[in-house]
Amino acid sequence: MSDEITSTLQENRVFEPSARFLAEIGPLVVPDMAAYWRMYRQSIDDPATFWGEIARDFRWYRPFDTVVEWKAPDAKWFVGGTTNVCANCIDRQVDAGHGDDAAIVWEGEPCAPQPEVRTLTYNDLLREVSRTANALKALGVRRGDIVTIYMGMVPELTIAMLACARIGAPHSVIFGGFAPNAIVDRVRDAKSKIIITCDGAWRRGQVVALKKNVDDACEKLPEVEHVLVVRRTGEPVTMHTPRDQWWHALVAQQSTDCPCEALDSEDLLFLLYTSGSTGKPKGICHTVGGYMVYTAYTAKTTFNLVAGSNHVYFCTADIGWITGHSYIVYGMLPNRVPTLMYEGAPNFPAEDRFWAMIARHKVTHFYTAPTAIRAFMKWGDAHPAKHDLSSLLLLGTVGEPINPEAWIWYHQHIGASRCPIVDTMWQTETGGHIITPLPGCTPTVPGSCTLAFFGIDAAIVNEKGEELPPNQGGLLVIRKPWPGMLRGIHGDRERFIETYWSKVAGMYVAGDGARRDKRGYFWIMGRIDDVINVSGHRLGTMEIESALVSHPAVVEAAVVGMPHEIKGTGIAAFVTLAPSFTGTADDSLRKQLAEHVTKEIGAIARPDIIRFTALLPKTRSGKIMRRLLRDIAAGRDSTQDTTTLEDFTVLAKLRESDE
Ligand code: PRX
């Protein structure tokens, strides 16, 4: 394992919070490192007091009796309490007299010179979410039924999620970039009978045919009884009666009164599918009480949000991923800081889309991914330089390790060398941030996500669970439960235990290799499983291999990550063609195979390079030697031990087939 986890990155520049940040951000949630350490110690030694106090700030219908019950791998938080996440996001704000405050600001893809902007206040949200919740009830959705959502980035997506939360129907949001087959797998696994979608979504001036994808998926999903369709683009779509209904027709008829269900803390709030080592995506389960408290509190602390101030927060993620769930929707609304969501792409109509948005909406907090930052760098400094970015106070990154050059560029060109950068490390499974600097408090070092968040007993260990000395690479684990942790994989207890809890006894294994430096700061070195992080999106290499093998020309495929300037990790596929294939192994076949993967999974999984090979290098037990393939894909000469290689000639042949 340790030879997988090697990093030579040395970075000694330390950045302290700027005076201007300290003067402008408002009161600090965590004022200094002494306070951080005091709070951190309490959160680990006495989690019941620490989280109990935070949780009591939320609206509970029945107060919880016990803060946490823990018997690895099962945690229960806020046991005995009943609450509702939607009530804490919306009703609580309205009841406190903040109904007219902006909750969500949405900017559509600019199809005209002036972009379409909608601001939804908490009053608006209450009305629209209640109506939508009643519409779902009218379609027969009951507490506990899982609702699939496959939509573009429109306000109705957030409204649909909150409507589900209101009536206790867990949602399963599928990223709008996924292809019909991906919808089929996820709807089947969730046993969902209803899908909410849009006619289409705008992306770079083109329409993404969401409804058509749902129609294609539904051919294999006779169990889907209802499809509720938001009209966004106005492009013609086929409506199948009685299955399909227009959102605007059904929702408008509903009453604006819909009481919140009192849900148990441990009721399911949502499922979110993510990739793992096998081809089958995992439905990660998050529950009501713990997720609510953890996302709202991490958002408040990591971004130092101040309700009722001038703060405007912009996260560029898609809500189809966990970042959007936690830090566009659920973590934001309870903090009463307007959250800006956008439709479209960062480079349409031009590469300055985000900078224009920051200037237009006076954004104070900007949260994006390293892959986007690398693209901004490539597009050039002139784009941000054209816009007034002086409203910015704080920058964040998420999704993959950030290379120090990108960090420094972000700091200088976007943050004018005065905005702290919070490099937030977390996962779909963790619900919220687990390792992150706190702004105005933690000195930052480019490339390091710094220190554990409150309640996170993170460590670097070997397989025996022994903590490793500074700078030695090992497994990133968390040794104690935290409120936002996943409660399971939907319908697959064994996989839950096997994936996270069996590698090191009694500890949560994140699946990342990492080290700590002498200061105690964490450095994430990359995944240790067959998961690759492409443009901050998590993909299982097996999923891509299965898609390739489903093409008639292919008998076997091995997919590995390779260094990529913008994506961080690119996708390299090694493909063995079927004996029955009579065509030529050329660029046109490469293109066909790449398109096949796009059709099967989605454009994010499209291989960057495809190599044809007569045989794949395997160990004597038949395992594909991925490390060798990674070296070849990266153009490195392999120094790996190859004594277990079945057919040595394969290696030479693969090298020769370099493009
Ligand atoms: O490898 C880590 C990487 O992204 C993985 C989690 O992916 P996902 O569940 O899709 O969630 C992404 C958004 C939270 C992690 O196991 N990762 C995420 N953030 C960072 C990171 N690696 C290094 N630094 C980060 N800040």
Rounded to whole angstroms, what are the CA distances from 187 to 33, 147, 157, 255, 611?
46, 9, 17, 29, 33
For residue range 439-455, what is the model confidence (pLDDT) as tens digits?
999 999 999 999 999 99
For residue range 420-479, what is the model confidence (pLDDT) as tens digits?
999 999 999 999 999 999 999 999 999 999 999 999 999 999 999 999 999 999 999 999
For residue range 363-417, what is the model confidence (pLDDT) as tens digits?
999 999 999 999 999 999 999 999 999 999 999 999 999 999 999 999 999 999 9
Amino acid code (one letter) for 48: A
Flag whether pLDDT at 620 surpasses 80: no
Cα–Cα distance for residue pair 438/29, rounded to 1 Å: 9
Contact 455, 57 (CB under 8 A): no
Amino acid code (one letter) for 63: P
Written as one string, the DSSP assignment of 210-256 is HHHHHHHHHTT-TT--EEEEE-SS----PPPTTTEEEHHHHHHTS-S
| Among 19-28, 272-281, 336-345, the least confident range | 272-281
What is the pLDDT averaged over residues 616-644?
A: 77
What is the pLDDT averaged over residues 601-611?
A: 95
Between the CA of 425 and the centroid of ligand 1 the distance, in Å, is: 6
Cα–Cα distance for residue pair 652/647, rounded to 1 Å: 10
Query: Which residues have a Cβ under 8 Å from the Cβ of 223 and sit 6 or more positions away?
Result: 187, 188, 191, 193
Of all protein residues, whose CA lies closest to atom 8 belonging to ligand 1? 427
Q: Which of 275, 321, 327, 426 to mutate to test the pocket of ligand 1 (most atoms within 8 A of CB)?
A: 426
Query: What's the number of CA atoms in the CB half-sphere (13 Å) around residue 480?
Result: 19
Between the CA of 511 and the centroid of ligand 1 the distance, in Å, is: 10
Flag whether pLDDT at 618 surpasses 90: no
Look at residue 640 in the predicted model and tell me its pLDDT. 58
Of all protein residues, whose CA lies closest to atom 13 belonging to ligand 1? 399
- 394 is written with which tokens? 């704080």
Contact 178, 208 (CB under 8 A): no
Ligand 1 closest atom vs CA 531: 1
Between the CA of 403 and the centroid of ligand 1 the distance, in Å, is: 14
Q: Which of 321, 322, 400, 430 to mutate to test the pocket of ligand 1 (most atoms within 8 A of CB)?
A: 400
For residue range 291-324, what is the model confidence (pLDDT) as tens digits?
999 999 999 999 999 999 999 999 999 999 999 9
Look at residue 192 in the predicted model and tell me its pLDDT. 98
Of all protein residues, whose CA lies closest to atom 11 belonging to ligand 1? 427
Between the CA of 431 and the centroid of ligand 1 the distance, in Å, is: 11
Rounded to whole angstroms, what are the CA distances from 310 to 24, 313, 333, 365, 418?
10, 10, 15, 11, 18
Look at residue 592 in the predicted model and tell me its pLDDT. 97
Given pLDDT bands bounded at 50, 70 and 90, which one contains residue 643? low
CB neighbourhood size of 353 (10 A): 21
Cα–Cα distance for residue pair 529/543, rounded to 1 Å: 13
Look at residue 641 in the predicted model and tell me its pLDDT. 60
- Helical segments of 386-540, H only: 404-409, 493-496
Given pLDDT bands bounded at 50, 70 and 90, which one contains residue 329? very high
Contact 384, 346 (CB under 8 A): no
For the CA atoms of 262, 268, 272, 274, the dihedral, rounded to the nearest 10 degrees, stands at: 160
For residue range 567-596, what is the model confidence (pLDDT) as tens digits?
999 999 999 999 899 999 999 999 999 999
Between the CA of 477 and the centroid of ligand 1 the distance, in Å, is: 14
For residue range 27-61, what is the model confidence (pLDDT) as tens digits?
999 999 999 999 999 999 999 999 999 999 999 99
Identify the helix (H) or strand (E) that includes residue 263.
Answer: strand 263-264
For residue range 101-150, what is the model confidence (pLDDT) as tens digits?
999 999 999 766 778 999 999 999 999 999 999 999 999 999 999 999 99
Given pLDDT bands bounded at 50, 70 and 90, which one contains residue 6? very low
Flag whether pLDDT at 4 surpasses 70: no
Query: Which residues have a Cβ under 8 Å from the Cβ of 471 and sit 6 or more positions away?
Result: 515, 516, 517, 518
Look at residue 595 in the predicted model and tell me its pLDDT. 97
> What's the predicted TM-score (pTM) here?
0.93
Cα–Cα distance for residue pair 576/589, rounded to 1 Å: 12
**3-state SS track over 47-91:** HHHHHHHHHCCCCEEECCCEEEEEECCEEEEEECCEECHHHHHHH
Query: What's the number of CA atoms in the CB half-sphere (13 Å) around residue 173?
Result: 29
Between the CA of 398 and the centroid of ligand 1 the distance, in Å, is: 7
Between the CA of 383 and the centroid of ligand 1 the distance, in Å, is: 28
Q: Which of 427, 430, 531 to mutate to test the pocket of ligand 1 (most atoms within 8 A of CB)?
A: 427
Q: Which of 326, 398, 543 to mutate to test the pocket of ligand 1 (most atoms within 8 A of CB)?
A: 398
Collapsing DSSP to helix, strand or coil, 655 comes out as helix
From the list 106, 85, 198, the residue with the least C-alpha distance to 155 is 106
Between the CA of 198 and the centroid of ligand 1 the distance, in Å, is: 29
- Write out residues with Cβ below 6 Å of ligand 1: 274, 322-323, 398-401, 423-428, 449, 510-512, 524, 527, 533, 538
